[in-house]
Amino acid sequence: MPALRARLAGPEHPLPFLVREVAVLARLFFRLSVALVVPALLAAARADALDHLTLRRDAGQVKLVGRVVVEAADGGVLFETRESALWIVQPEEQVERSKDEVTYEPLAHNELAAALLKELPPGFETYETKHYVICFNTSRAYAQWCGSLFERLYTGFTNYWSNRGFTPTEPEHPLVAFVFADRASYARYARVELNDAVDSIIGYYSLRTNRMTMYDLTGTAGTSADRGSAAQIARTLAQPDAAKTVATIVHEATHQIAFNCGLHRRYADIPLWVSEGMAVYFETPDLDGGKGWRTIGKINRARLLSFAAYARRRPADSLLSLLRANTRMQNSQTAVDAYAEAWALNYFLINAKPKQYQAYIETMAAKKPLVSTSPEERLAEFRAAFGDDIEGLDREFIRYVARLR
């Protein structure tokens, strides 16, 4: 079975890694769908037992310890390790499988930190916050800045949805971020997942590993005594392209929080206009004072301008096409317009239809892993929350966005 990696040619403006992962998953959905079409065949993970699974891949045998999240009728499984990595294992790949009496528990912060360091090149350390384990080989000051940024985003994100009627859950596993000292070392590590797109992607969140991977944005690792310091970070944030780079990191961190706090579930068929549009809603950076981010739901000027340009040539079925399928989000030729529309649609629905949006998000949160949704089903889910008059909603949406300044 192919690994859950992006195997797509890198376009001039490469698609975010999560979008590429979803494209790969769509192909895997088909293989498992025959066994998973009947809801009764979905087997929930047993929280009181530890599963052991040995599988055979091209590189040899792999031993996994964790739990079965989903089991198909043909014996294929979705397996989650104690480190929070997901593996799709087909029946023919399984060598041995057993269950013992040891209670399943995710790795604690210190256990996870020790396990992660074994995977990484020499020279890495760990920095822990309340919700995060940050593995880094840059300065501790920069790791602390990242930890502070992530925790502010976590608090803001969870408080925001709590105040709007959706209660996020505490992450079951510590949230993990890898921070490399420079772009070259990051590229060597990330190329396995990103392929040629690694040259254009500065950071990403992986659904499979549940980790963020990035590098020190100050760009001075190994050349300056104050690399990663508050002064160096402030100088970096003053650069013309700082808004885009910080927005990317916040965007990926928002994905990680959403997929670990109950709004989305990994490997569930969440429409990309929702997951990506929500991340863009939160990504707008704040470059004053060196903090990088502190504002929720601020108008994203770049996306607003992009959508205004698209609106002048927007086809009549634009909203329907966005709701029914991920195609526009996954196509590098249409992704810029699709992302702008996804941001604008989320902004409109969150602010103008908050109760309906909450109901829709609760529907998304209840989705099961590896169960695909047809275009008709996606449209039905949307109509159940926002009503049948999509043409009328579209007109209201366009008027609303046209008034934004």
Domain ranges of the chain: 17-100, 109-290, 301-402
* Residue-level pLDDT at 5: 27
Query: 17-100: which CATH topology?
Result: SH3 type barrels. (2.30.30)
Amino acid letter, 51:
D
- What pLDDT sits at residue 229? 67
Q: Which of 115, 118, 21, 38 is nearest to 72 (CA)?
A: 38
Q: What's the token pair of residue 119?
A: 């995977």
Task: For residue 148, give the H/E element and its range.
Answer: helix 140-163
Q: What is the pLDDT of residue 38?
A: 33
Q: How far is CA 110 from CA 133, 138, 337, 389, in A?
A: 9, 20, 43, 52
**pLDDT single digits (tens) 92-112:** 999 999 998 888 999 999 999
Q: How many residues does the chain have?
A: 405
Of the candidate ranges 28-37, 256-265, 395-404, the one whose mean pLDDT is the lowest: 28-37
Residue bearing tokens 């001075």: 220
- Given a contact cutoff of 8 angstroms between Cβ atoms, the answer to whether 289 and 39 are in contact is no
125 and 224 in contact (C-beta within 8 Å)? no
pLDDT tier at 10, thresholds 50, 70, 90: very low
**CA neighbor of 334 nearest in space, from 353, 321, 320:** 321
Residues 275-295 have a mean pLDDT of 73
Q: Give the pLDDT confidence score for residue 255 in this predicted structure.
A: 96
- Residue 354 reports pLDDT greater than 90: yes
37 has a pLDDT exceeding 60: no
- What region, left, alpha or beta, does residue 84 occupy, with left being phi > 0 and alpha being psi -120 to 50 degrees? left
pLDDT of residue 7: 24
SS3 content of the chain, % helix, strand, coil (to 5): 50, 15, 35
**End-to-end C-alpha distance for the chain, whole angstroms:** 49
pLDDT tens-digit readout, 181-191: 999 999 999 99
When the pLDDT of each residue in the chain is averaged and rounded to a whole number, the result is 86
Residue 70, token pair as written in the block: 């989903």
- pLDDT, residue 101, reads 85
10 Å CB burial of residue 171 (0-12, 13-18, 19+) is buried
The radius of gyration of the chain from alpha carbons, rounded to an integer in Å, stands at 21
CB 179 within 8 Å of CB 139: no
CB 248 within 8 A of CB 203: yes
- CA–CA dist 42, 372 (Å, integer): 13
Least confident of 116-120, 220-224, 373-377: 220-224
Task: Give the confidence band of 297 by pLDDT, cuts at 50, 70, 90.
Answer: confident
pLDDT bin (cut points 50, 70, 90) of residue 21 is low
